């Protein structure tokens, strides 16, 4: 045998001796434990919450200028430079927002949830507190999104750095012309998710998320949000296994029927309550963190179903345009039966 022939023989035998293995899949518990140190991500929105990504508001809020009042909107913002906007009609101090964020963080830790803080905040990105939008937990890891408006573009980099620092696999970064924000992603049940399309989530961004889910055997339903609604979590959040709290005025009829057909029980926000109650967070099945006093009649309806509400005051932070759900990006949840 020639020298070249012997090399080819040894090379081929080496490949046969040490073959590639597609199974078990990346997301399987064995692979996650052996390669990534544990089971990452989520395939539901209500299983016991183990890890959550958050950001305590800080000096990035200094970009907000109270002199730039937008009277026609009843709020504040840099309409010309597109560098910031504040949705509320009043601007609370940084200290007030920090105090309420600290209270939410303390409540989560009391529920044995590990709070992962951003390693840094992109300069001037004052909406970085709303970590839900820049990261989606899926089975086996995370999807880093691509935020829509200029005032938020750039939050993705610190999120990527933070996930890498804790060893969480990043299964996809939304790229190209795709737009995707995590506030418009909901797990209805394992292997079934909903993506709300809007000015913040275009078809390309939704397609890229669907591609990740398909590789895991999960299905995605697409719901086109009405008018200028940004995220589906303003109208739909899971609060228990196969139970959702909804604002039916913001969801199309076909989707309400689809949830019923899929076995999802819905609790409608009471007409006399604040619709912000939907922006809540399940820390385990039937145990939900919710803005204190926002919607007493809806909370009563949840209580009758055996769903426990943990109240926290988050009003000051909500003035910036996002609530409890927006401020928490689950990185790890237990499976549900």
Strand order in the sheet with 236-240: 236-240, 243-246, 265-268
The model's pTM is 0.95
Q: Which residue's structure tokens are 């601007």? A: 91
- Close Cβ partners of 249 (under 8 Å, ≥ 6 residues apart): none
Domains, the chain, ordered by start:
1-38 (no CATH), 39-333 (3.75.10.10)
Give yes or no for a contact between 186 and 194, defined as CB atoms under 8 angstroms apart.
yes
Nearest to 138 by CA among 40, 275, 285: 40
Residue 41: predicted pLDDT = 97
Residue 97: HSE in the Cβ half-sphere, 13 Å Cα cutoff: 25
Residue 1: predicted pLDDT = 64
Residue 4: predicted pLDDT = 61
Say how far apart CA 48 and CA 278 lie, in whole Å.
Answer: 19
Nearest to 179 by CA among 153, 154, 145: 145
Residue 10: predicted pLDDT = 86
Give yes or no for a contact between 206 and 222, defined as CB atoms under 8 angstroms apart.
yes
Residue 6: predicted pLDDT = 82
Give yes or no for a contact between 253 and 295, defined as CB atoms under 8 angstroms apart.
no
Residue 123: predicted pLDDT = 93
Residue 176: predicted pLDDT = 98
Residue 154: predicted pLDDT = 96
Nearest to 268 by CA among 300, 309, 293, 290: 300
Give yes or no for a contact between 301 and 267, defined as CB atoms under 8 angstroms apart.
yes
Say how far apart CA 246 and CA 251 lie, in whole Å.
Answer: 8
pLDDT beneath 70: ranges in the chain: 1, 4, 294
């Amino acid at each position: 045998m020639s020298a070249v022939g012997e090399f080819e023989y040894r090379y081929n035998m080496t490949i046969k001796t040490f073959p590639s293995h597609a199974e078990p899949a990346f997301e399987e518990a064995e692979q996650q434990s052996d390669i990534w140190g544990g089971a990452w991500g989520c395939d539901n929105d209500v299983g016991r919450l183990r890890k959550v990504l958050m950001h305590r508001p800080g000096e990035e809020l200094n970009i907000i200028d109270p002199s730039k009042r937008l009277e026609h909107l009843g709020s504040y913002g840099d309409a010309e430079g597109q560098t910031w906007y504040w949705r509320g009609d009043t601007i609370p101090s940084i200290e007030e927002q920090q105090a309420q964020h600290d209270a939410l963080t303390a409540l989560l830790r009391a529920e044995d949830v590990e709070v992962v803080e951003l390693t840094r905040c992109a300069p001037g990105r004052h909406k970085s507190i709303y970590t839900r939008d820049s990261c989606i937990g899926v089975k086996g890891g995370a999807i880093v999104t691509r935020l829509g408006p200029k005032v938020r573009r750039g939050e993705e980099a610190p999120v990527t750095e933070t996930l890498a620092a804790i060893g969480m696999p990043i299964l996809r970064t939304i790229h190209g012309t795709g737009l995707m924000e995590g506030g418009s992603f909901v797990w209805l049940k394992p292997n079934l998710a909903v993506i709300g399309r809007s000015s913040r989530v275009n078809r390309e961004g939704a397609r890229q998320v669907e591609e990740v889910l398909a590789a895991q055997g999960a299905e995605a339903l697409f719901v086109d949000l009405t008018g200028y609604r940004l995220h589906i979590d303003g109208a739909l959040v899971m609060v228990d296994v196969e139970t959702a709290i909804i604002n039916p005025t913001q969801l199309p009829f076909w989707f309400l029927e689809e949830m019923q057909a899929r076995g999802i029980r819905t609790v409608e926000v009471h007409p006399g309550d604040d619709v912000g109650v939907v922006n809540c967070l399940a820390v385990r099945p039937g145990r939900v963190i919710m803005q204190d006093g926002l919607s007493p009649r809806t909370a009563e309806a949840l209580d009758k179903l055996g769903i426990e509400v943990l109240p926290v005051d988050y009003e000051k932070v909500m003035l910036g345009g996002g609530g409890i759900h927006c401020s928490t990006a689950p990185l790890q949840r237990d499976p549900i039966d």
